[in-house]
C-alpha cells in the first residue's frame, strides 16, 4: 500500500510517498481503508520533532493523525463495529499513520461518522473535536455560568468550541470583525470584540478561563484578564510541568518537556493564575459524545475546499503552512 512517511525531523519537514506493507490486525483492532485524512497542527508538532519524547517513535514512520474511512476487517471478538462501517478517528500518538491507504487501529479510539457529516468533513473533526471537549471538560472543568475567552474566532477550534461551550451553559467571548464576528455570534458567542477599535484587555476582567490558540504576543494580556485562580489553556505555547509529569516520562524527558512551558508557568504563578498546555488523547468514548453533540448542535469543522491526493502530500503541507487555507486541509486517499 502507499504511505507518506517522515524520514527525518525538520522545521519544514517533507514526506516521502512509498510502498509499505499493509498493516496486520492485533487483538481489539480494526483495519480501516482510509478515505480522507486531515492535516492539523499536531502533524507539525510531530514532523518537527517537538513531541518526539511523548511519541516515542523514530523515523521513518507514516504520518497523519486523523481520518475518516471504511472498516475493511475486524479482529475476533469485536462486536461494536463491522466491515463496511464508516468511521472516523484521531489516532494515538504512538500509532499515527492516517496518510496511508490502510491503517490498523484499536477499536477504543474510533466512532461511527455522524450522518450529518460527509466523509470529507468528518476527517477534520476528531482532533479539533477532542481538543475542544477535553479542553472544556478535562482541563478547564468549565461549568454553566462561567465565562470563557477564546483568543481567535477565525480558526477551526472556534468553529467547535463556541457551540460546544455554549451548549454547556458557558458564556463565550472572543474577538473578530465583519463576517467572522457575525459567524461567531451565530455559533453562540455572547460577545465578539472588534480588535480594530477595542483592546480586549481594556474591557475584560474576572474571566474564568482562556483558550489560547494564536501563540501571539497578546498572551500576556490574556493572562491579565483572568480572575485569580483562573486558567489559561494553550495549544501552542509549550508543555507545562504537570503535563510532562503526567505522561510517565523519564526524569530527563520531564525536564526537557517542562522547560518549554517553564516561562509560562512562572508568569502565571506571579499573577495567581494557572497555565496549562493541552495535548489531546485519542478516545473513542469521548468521540462518541462529540458525535452526539453534532446531532443536536451546529458544530461543523471548517474545511478548505482545495483538493489534494496522497501523491501531493507535500503540496498540501506547504499549503497548510502558508496560512491562507480556509480550514483543515484534506487529503483524498481513496475514492
Strand 15-19: give its sheet, edge to edge: 15-19, 2-6, 61-62
Distances (CA, A) of 243 to 61, 152, 222: 25, 24, 21
Query: End-to-end CA distance of the chain, in Å?
Result: 15
In the DSSP assignment, the letter for residue 100 is B
In angstroms, the CA 165 to CA 143 distance is 9
pTM for the model = 0.89
Q: How much helix, strand and coil, in percent to the nearest 5, is found in the chain?
A: 35, 25, 40
Closest Cα to residue 64, out of 86, 36, 84?
36
In b/e form, how buried is each residue of 206-245, taking b as 16+ CB within 10 angstroms?
ebbbbbbbbeeebbebbbebbeeebbbbbbbbbbbbebbe
Domains and CATH numbers, the chain: 2-124+302-332 (3.90.180.10), 127-277 (3.40.50.720)
Per-residue pLDDT of the chain (335 residues; tens, 9 = 90+): 999 999 999 999 999 999 999 999 999 999 999 999 999 888 888 898 877 777 778 889 999 999 999 999 999 889 899 999 999 999 998 889 999 999 999 999 999 999 999 999 999 999 999 999 999 999 999 999 999 999 888 878 899 999 999 999 999 999 999 888 999 999 999 999 999 999 999 999 999 999 998 776 788 899 999 999 999 998 875 555 555 555 444 444 554 455 556 677 778 888 899 998 888 889 999 999 999 998 877 789 999 999 999 999 999 999 998 878 888 999 999 97
E strands, the chain, are: 2-6, 15-19, 29-39, 61-62, 66-74, 86-90, 102-106, 110-112, 147-150, 171-175, 191-193, 207-212, 226-234, 274-277, 303-309, 328-332
Question: What are the φ/ψ torsions at residue 29 (nearest 5 degrees)?
Answer: -110, 155
Please, are residues 184 and 153 in contact by the beta-carbon 8 Å criterion? yes
Amino acid at each position: 500500500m502507499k504511505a507518506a512517511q517522515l524520514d527525518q525531523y525538520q522545521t519544514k519537514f517533507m514526506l516521502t510517498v512509498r510502498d509499505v506493507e499493509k498493516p496486520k490486525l492485533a487483538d481489539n483492532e480494526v483495519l480501516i481503508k482510509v478515505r480522507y485524512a486531515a492535516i492539523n497542527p499536531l502533524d507539525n508538532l510531530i514532523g518537527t520533532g517537538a513531541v518526539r519524547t511523548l511519541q516515542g517513535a523514530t523515523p521513518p514512520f507514516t504520518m497523519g493523525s486523523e481520518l475518516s474511512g471504511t472498516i475493511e476487517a475486524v479482529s475476533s471478538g469485536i462486536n461494536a463495529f463491522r466491515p463496511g462501517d464508516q468511521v472516523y478517528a484521531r489516532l494515538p500518538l504512538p500509532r499515527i499513520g492516517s496518510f496511508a491507504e490502510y491503517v490498523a487501529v484499536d477499536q477504543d479510539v474510533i466512532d461511527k461518522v455522524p450522518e450529518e457529516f460527509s466523509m470529507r468533513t468528518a476527517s477534520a473533526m476528531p482532533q479539533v473535536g477532542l481538543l475542544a471537549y477535553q479542553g472544556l471538560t478535562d482541563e478547564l472543568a468549565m461549568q454553566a455560568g462561567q465565562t470563557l475567552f477564546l483568543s481567535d474566532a477565525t480558526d477551526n477550534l472556534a468553529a467547535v468550541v463556541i457551540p460546544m461551550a455554549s451548549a454547556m451553559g458557558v458564556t463565550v467571548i472572543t474577538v473578530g470583525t465583519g463576517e467572522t464576528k457575525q459567524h461567531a455570534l451565530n455559533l453562540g458567542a455572547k460577545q465578539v470584540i472588534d480588535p480594530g477599535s477595542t483592546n480586549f484587555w481594556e474591557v475584560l476582567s474576572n474571566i474564568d478561563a482562556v483558550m489560547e490558540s494564536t501563540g501571539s504576543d497578546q498572551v500576556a494580556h490574556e493572562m491579565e484578564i483572568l480572575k485569580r485562580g483562573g486558567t489559561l489553556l494553550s495549544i501552542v505555547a509549550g508543555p507545562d510541568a504537570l503535563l510532562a509529569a503526567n505522561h510517565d516520562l523519564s526524569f530527563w524527558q520531564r525536564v526537557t518537556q517542562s522547560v518549554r512551558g517553564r516561562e509560562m508557568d512562572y508568569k502565571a504563578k506571579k499573577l495567581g493564575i494557572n497555565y496549562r498546555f493541552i495535548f489531546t488523547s485519542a478516545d473513542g468514548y469521548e468521540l462518541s459524545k462529540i458525535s452526539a453533540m453534532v446531532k443536536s448542535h451546529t458544530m461543523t469543522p471548517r474545511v478548505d475546499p482545495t483538493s489534494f491526493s496522497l501523491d501531493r502530500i507535500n503540496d498540501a503541507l506547504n499549503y497548510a503552512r502558508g496560512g491562507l487555507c480556509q480550514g483543515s486541509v484534506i487529503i483524498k486517499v481513496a475514492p
